[in-house]
Amino acid sequence: MKKILVIDDHPAVMEGTKTILETDSNLSVDCLSPEPSEQFIKQHDFSSYDLILMDLNLGGEVNGMELSKQILQENPHCKIIVYTGYEVEDYFEEAIRAGLHGAISKTESKEKITQYIYHVLNGEILVDFAYFKQLMTQQKTKPAPSSQKEQDVLTPRECLILQEVEKGFTNQEIADALHLSKRSIEYSLTSIFNKLNVGSRTEAVLIAKSDGVL
């Protein structure tokens, strides 16, 4: 018998979820509506539950994500799933980062919810393939500014060219000003675009400014 806690501020949703989940005889469900007080965490013993379903928008000032973090601080072994009416993809990454076991939508079918719960009880989560793929590629294309690779640092000539770009000169004008060929300017610009991961001159200039290169 696994004990599940549903935290939500809508009684109807709580009861509905309880009814759906308890059709599974292995699950027993408690419901809890939070109050916005400091004592809330201390008053309840969350460690006795195998799993918590946490709504995000708990009415008033209470934020489900913050509440989850606090619960995890007190009971690090708790397994919490974001249970939201909003789009799950938006919150998934943040939830994992905060140490929660992903998120599931309130609009999902009974089967999917129970399935997800069982996976989490086993220490696994279900991730949509397309979402996971997107997540992986994003990580690759968006390197953190601090961990810049050496080959991504602009050369002095590229900086010089960017300075001219900022003044609004065309490639030909830049070539004339720096005594270089137009082709070499074009080549350098491509290199700059690649290094800064940008698609336009304006973007390049702004990024360079932000990085303090200009």
Partner 1 sequence: MKNLIKKFTIAVIVLSILYISYTTYISMNGIIIGTKIHKNDKSQFMIEEISESSYGQFVGLRQGDIILKINKEKPSDKHLKWGYLSHINSLDILRSGKKIHLKDFDLVTLNRPYSFFLFVLPLFFYFLSIICIFYILKVNKKRRSFAAYILILLLLDISIAYISAGGPFRGHIINRYINLFTFISSPILYLQFIQRYLGEIGKTFLNRISFLYIIPIFNLGIEFFQDYLQVDIDFLATLNLVSFATLTLFSFSAIYLHLNKYKYAEHSFILKLLILTNTLSFAPFLIFFVLPIIFTGNYIFPALASASLLVLIPFGLVYQFVANKMFDIEFILGRMRYYALLAMIPTLLIVGALVLFDVMDIQMNPVRQTVFFFVVMFAVFYFKEVMDFKFRLKRFSEKFNYQDSIFKYTQLMRGVTSLQQVFKELKNTILDVLLVSKAYTFEVTPDHKVIFLDKHEVGPDWNFYQEEFENVTSEIGKIIEVNQGFLMKVGERGGSSYVLLCLSNINTPRLTRDEISWLKTLSFYTSVSMENVLHIEELMEHLKDLKQEGTNPIWLKKLMFAIEEKQRSGLARDLHDSVLQDLISLKRQCELFLGDFKKDDNPCREEVQDKLVQMNEQMSDVISMTRETCHELRPQLLYDLGLVKALSKLVAQQQERVPFHIRLNTGRFTASLDLDSQLNLYRIIQEFLSNAVKHSQATDVLIMLISIQNKIVLHYEDDGVGFDQEKNTEHSMSMGLSGIKERVRALDGRLRIETSEGKGFKADIEIEL
Q: With binding defined as CB under 8 A, does residue 81 bind partner 1?
A: no
Q: With binding defined as CB under 8 A, does residue 91 bind partner 1?
A: yes
Find the binder of partner 1 among 35, 94, 152, 186 (CB under 8 A). 94
Find the binder of partner 1 among 19, 47, 48, 63 (CB under 8 A). 63
Closest CB to partner 1 among residues 26, 131: 131
Closest CB to partner 1 among residues 85, 99: 85
Secondary structure in 3-state letters for the chain: CEEEEEECCCHHHHHHHHHHHHCCCCEEEEEECCCCCCHHHHHCCHHHCCEEEECCECCCCCEHHHHHHHHHHHCCCCCEEEEECCCHHHHHHHHHHCCCCCEEECCCCHHHHHHHHHHHHCCCCCCCHHHHHHHHHHHHHCCCHHHCCHHHCCCHHHHHHHHHHHCCCCHHHHHHHHCCCHHHHHHHHHHHHHHHCCCCHHHHHHHHHHHCCC
Find the binder of partner 1 among 20, 160, 198, 213 (CB under 8 A). 198
Q: With binding defined as CB under 8 A, does residue 128 bind partner 1?
A: no
Using N-to-C axis directions, what is the helix angle for 88-97 and 129-141, rounded to 10°?
60
Number of residues in the chain: 214
Closest CB to partner 1 among residues 49, 91: 91
Q: With binding defined as CB under 8 A, does residue 145 bind partner 1?
A: yes
Find the binder of partner 1 among 86, 131, 132, 187 (CB under 8 A). 86
Q: In the complex, what is the shortest distance from the CB of residue 91 to partner 1, in angstroms, rounded to a whole number?
A: 7
Q: With binding defined as CB under 8 A, does residue 211 bind partner 1?
A: yes
Q: In the complex, what is the shortest distance from the CB of residue 36 to partner 1, in angstroms, rounded to a whole number?
A: 15
Residues in binding contact with partner 1, number by CB under 8 A: 25
Give yes or no for a contact between 32 and 11, defined as CB atoms under 8 angstroms apart: no
Find the binder of partner 1 among 19, 181, 194, 197 (CB under 8 A). 197
Both structure tokens of 185: 């300017």
Binding site for partner 1 (CB under 8 A): 56-57, 63, 65, 85-87, 90-91, 94, 107, 142, 145, 197-200, 202-203, 206-207, 209-212
